[in-house]
Amino acid sequence: MKTTRTLAKALRPGARGLLVGLLTAAFLAPFYLMLRNALMDSKGLTSPEWTWWPSEMHWENFTALFDVPTLHMGQALGNSLLIAGITAPVSTLLASAAGYAFARIPVPGRGVLLGLVIATLMIPASATFVPTFVVVGAMGGVNTLWGLIAPGLFNPFAVLLFRNFYLQFPAEIEEAGRLDGLGWLGLYRRIALPSSGAMLAALGALSFIDSWNAFLWPLVVGQDPSAWTAQIALSTFLTSQTINLPGLFAGAVVTIAPLVAMFLIAQRYIVEGIATTGLKG
């Protein structure tokens, strides 16, 4: 029995390492396939014979993305970066302020307002898509960057996460701020907001990724090529007349690179931020 336990303990690290290796390989497999396909030509991609890596790498697939005048890939990447770069911090700060107000400020009807915020989470996005487009269109937001940005600035789910976070925030610290003459705005700006760095980073990163990956709203609102985002530019490689698979995969590699960088930078904050919302276990 003792020998069996000793053998199990000896094998346990190896089994863990094997499991981690398999999960890592499964996670990296799509990135490997994207890069492999991006470096091949159309003949190699459609060949029935499988090759692990192209014998001749076609780096020109990447440069061609920015050489095609009708693709507007450079401008599309810039639009996506601008939209996500504005949406992420603004929506996160608005959600933080609203969450603090729901958690701390005792105003009449606060429970009703919180119920309305929760109710918006139960409404399917498809039910609000057309009314939102009608409002944005009536205000002249079609083919404009602000029309792409404005509907994504309000995130009720993030408001609830921040509310849970601020409910756990020590009230004694705020009482010390009150003795210094701080009001609600001062308490939020000088004490609560600086103490929620992990939450801000986590939800900001998730908001950036969500905004970068948005497709349907930019497709409908950004009808002019000058308002295209990276996702819309990618869709032009796949039409009913032509299919440019090498260009599509090369564009996917270029488009996903900012998201990979964002995740690698913010992964620790994402885990830490979600863990501090009170949603654990």
- Transcribe 151-204 into DSSP letters: GGG--HHHHHHHHHHHHTS-HHHHHHHHHTT--HHHHIIIIITGGGHHHHHHHH
Rounded (10°) CA dihedral 256, 261, 267, 270 = -70
Which band of pLDDT confidence, cut at 50, 70 and 90, is reported for residue 281? very low
Strand locations in the chain, DSSP E? none
Q: How far does CA 209 lie from the centroid of its chain? A: 2
Distance CA 100, CA 104 (A): 6
pTM for the predicted model, two decimal places = 0.81
pLDDT, mean of residues 183-194: 85
| pLDDT for 78 beyond 80 | yes
End-to-end CA distance of the chain: 35
- Per-residue CA distances from 181 to 15, 101, 171, 175, 193 (Å): 59, 19, 15, 10, 17
At 76, which amino acid appears? Answer: A
pLDDT, one tens digit per residue, over 244-265 is: 788 888 888 888 888 888 778 7
Q: Note whether 33 and 246 are within 8 A (CB).
A: no
> Using alpha carbons only, what angle is made at residue 236 by residues 30 and 241, rounded to the nearest 5 degrees?
110
Distance CA 232, CA 229 (A): 5
| Mean pLDDT over each residue of the chain, to the nearest integer | 82
Distance CA 22, CA 198 (A): 30
Distance CA 53, CA 35 (A): 9
Q: Note whether 158 and 194 are within 8 A (CB).
A: no
Q: Note whether 203 and 92 are within 8 A (CB).
A: yes
Which band of pLDDT confidence, cut at 50, 70 and 90, is reported for residue 195? confident
At 205, which amino acid appears? Answer: A
Weakest-pLDDT range from 85-94, 168-177, 204-213: 168-177
pLDDT, greater one: 67 or 4: 67
Which band of pLDDT confidence, cut at 50, 70 and 90, is reported for residue 134? very high
Distance CA 279, CA 281 (A): 7
pLDDT, one tens digit per residue, over 225-239 is: 888 888 888 888 776
pLDDT, mean of residues 185-201: 84
Q: Note whether 96 and 196 are within 8 A (CB).
A: yes
User: From its phi and psi, is residue 91 left (phi > 0), alpha (psi between -120 and 50) or beta?
Assistant: alpha
Distance CA 55, CA 52 (A): 9
- Per-residue CA distances from 194 to 186, 199, 276 (Å): 12, 10, 15
Distance CA 96, CA 203 (A): 10
| pLDDT for 93 beyond 90 | yes
